[in-house]
């Protein structure tokens, strides 16, 4: 289970500072009363950004592992939220999806690039739509687009800020912003993807 690690570092700073060492979970999310054999369970590695590690806890009674994901990193997808935001922002500003994709991920063919980009755009726009619905008083009149949210919030990096604003809803918001494995509506069929290191859940959006 992924848990938010509240931290305002960039991905690079998180790695440089080895900030997973400062992550803490005071009690078991399943058994706040304690007595369940809740214990720190080391870290696991993520490949991107290189050197990333994620702090992890284990509840013996619940047979459940908890990973503390910092606000800068994508859930169920390699890399940072800033990288996802750059791709989605590029699509929002381009005249077409194809135009936005030119020059992106040149190591794969255009149909693959389109799928790669479309999954990210759909997941983020679905999350923004859901947040708008859950917090109408805060986002009424705001289009469910990153550009509109950025302007509304007065920030450049929208997604890490939304981890904070929408914190209570993260378990039900789609990855890579939220922690739900549920793919965005209208997406392509899931393909299982072997996570390169550690027991992170499969990356549904890769
Ligand atoms: Zn527990």
What is the pLDDT at residue 194?
Answer: 36
CA–centroid distance, 29 to ligand 1, in Å, is 7
Distance 66 CA to ligand 1 centre (A): 10
Non-local (6+) Cβ contacts of 31 within 8 A are 38, 59, 61, 62
Instruction: Tell me the domain boundaries of the chain.
Output: 2-70, 81-172
pTM for this one?
0.84
Question: Measured between alpha carbons, how far is 43 from 198 in angstroms, rounded to an integer?
Answer: 9
Q: What is the 155 CA–ligand 1 centroid distance (Å)? A: 37
Give mean pLDDT, residues 134-158.
94
Pair 205, 175: CB distance under 8 Å:
yes
- Residue-wise pLDDT for 72-86, tens only, equals 999 999 999 999 999
Give the distance, in angstroms, between the CA of residue 167 and the centroid of all CA atoms in the same chain: 12
Alpha helices in the chain (DSSP H): 11-16, 81-93, 97-101, 110-134, 136-139, 146-153, 158-165
| Residue 106: predicted pLDDT | 63
Helices (H), 20-145: 81-93, 97-101, 110-134, 136-139
Task: Tell me, in angstroms, the distance from the centre of ligand 1 to residue 61's CA.
Answer: 6
* Cβ–Cβ under 8 Å, residues 167 and 13: no
Instruction: Give me ligand 1 centre to Cα 37, in Å.
Output: 7
CA of 65 from ligand 1 middle (Å) equals 10
Residue 49 region by backbone torsions, left for phi larger than 0, else alpha for psi between -120 and 50, else beta: beta
Give the per-residue pLDDT at 182: 67
Q: Give the model confidence (pLDDT) of 155-186 as tens digits.
A: 989 999 999 999 999 999 999 999 997 654 44
> How many DSSP H helices and E strands does the chain contain?
7, 4
Instruction: State the pLDDT at residue 32.
Output: 94
User: Would you state the pLDDT for residue 46?
Assistant: 94
Q: What is the C-alpha to C-alpha distance for residues 138 and 67, in angstroms, rounded to an integer?
A: 29
State in Å: Cα 27 to ligand 1 middle: 8
Task: For ligand 1, an ion, list residues with CB under 5 A.
Answer: 28, 30-31, 36, 38, 59, 62
If you measure from the C-alpha of residue 157 to the centroid of ligand 1, how many angstroms do you get, rounded to a whole number? 34
CA–CA distance from 178 to each of 97, 108, 114, 125, 131 (Å)? 24, 27, 22, 12, 10
127 alpha carbon – ligand 1 mean position (Å): 29
| pLDDT at residue 140 in the model | 86
Dist. CA 202–CA 86, nearest whole Å = 23
């Amino acid at each position: 289970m992924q848990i938010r690690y509240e931290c305002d570092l960039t991905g690079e700073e998180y790695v440089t500072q080895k900030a997973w060492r400062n992550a803490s979970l005071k009690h078991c999310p399943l058994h706040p009363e304690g007595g369940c054999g809740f214990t720190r369970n080391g870290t696991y590695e993520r490949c991107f950004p290189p050197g990333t590690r994620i702090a992890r806890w284990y509840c013996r009674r619940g047979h459940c592992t908890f990973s503390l994901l910092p606000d800068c990193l994508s859930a169920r997808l390699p890399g940072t939220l800033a990288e996802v935001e750059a791709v989605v922002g590029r699509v929002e500003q381009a005249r077409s999806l194809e135009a936005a994709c030119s020059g992106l991920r040149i190591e794969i063919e255009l149909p693959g690039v389109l799928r790669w980009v479309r999954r990210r755009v759909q997941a983020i726009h679905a999350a923004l739509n859901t947040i708008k619905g859950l917090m109408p008083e805060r986002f009424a009149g705001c289009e469910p687009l990153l550009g509109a949210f950025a302007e509304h919030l007065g920030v450049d990096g929208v997604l890490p800020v939304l981890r904070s604003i929408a914190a209570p809803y993260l378990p039900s918001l789609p990855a890579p912003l939220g922690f739900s494995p549920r793919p965005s509506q209208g997406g392509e069929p899931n393909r299982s993807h072997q996570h390169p290191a550690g027991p992170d859940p499969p990356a549904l959006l890769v």
